[in-house]
Structure 1
Amino acid sequence: MMTLDRLTVLAEAWGGDLRRWPVADQVAAERLLAVDPAARAVLDAATAFDALLSTSPQPRPSAALRDRVVAEAARAGLKPRPARRFWLDRLVLASGAGWAAAACAGVIAGLSLTTYMTADIQADAVLYQATLIGIDDTEVLG
């Protein structure tokens, strides 16, 4: 059961959008909001605060702070990760997709050739057997 105090705690922790709340608390909060105007006021205040936070600029650390953090990490024995190259990842993905497409095309071509080759082999086998028993080609082929 949701109380106004519990709703206030959740609104302060998760904000005014109920979709971000724990699933178990969403339905109970909606029930309380439907009957208690004070609960609606709490949620509206949380929504306004969310809007205020979304308009504030993102803090950017200075280059000096970044250098100090990296230096401290190096002293602690940590190694910086190399910068990931997004374009290189995309290139590897594209080349893998190309190889996969080529493999699929090869399988399809192989299957279609196998069908024709199987028919040719079967026809040759019939003609060969016909010559063994002395039947003329025209009798076999009609």
Structure 2
Amino acid sequence: MMKAERFQAIVEAYGADPARWPEAERDAALVYAEQAGEAAQAVLAEARALDAGLASHTTPLPDAAAFARALKGAEAALTPARRGRGFRLPSFGLDRVRLASGLMAAACAGVMFGVTLSDRLTADVQADAVLYQATLSGIDDTEVLG
């Protein structure tokens, strides 16, 4: 037996036409609609009014002149992008050799700082490993210590 809340949810979601209702619940919803009487008919009437309003709505097609204007505007917007030479770095008033050498110097400095910092950060971990291995004792430690 279907509950009133579920029937209302189905009708609100799928409309008043039973052909659009989920097949698994269609028969139970139709039985509920017959047995519930005025409550179910009120829900269906409201859904039929909404369905009729949605069915009567039409979207006007744009006229050919509006379509031509939109197409012309889109082509005009794309034209400057076609003429461009692609990605260009800002020159800042420098020639290309100076700009390239500055970028290379910055890249080299970044690599050097990265290598230096990684050695310092891993030194603590290596020291902890050595101290841990030094505290081990026994015959089995030869496998760990080499």
Q: For this structure pair, what is the TM-score category when the shorter chain's length is used for normalisation?
A: 0.3 to 0.5
TM-score scaled by length of structure 1: 0.41
TM-score scaled by length of structure 2: 0.40
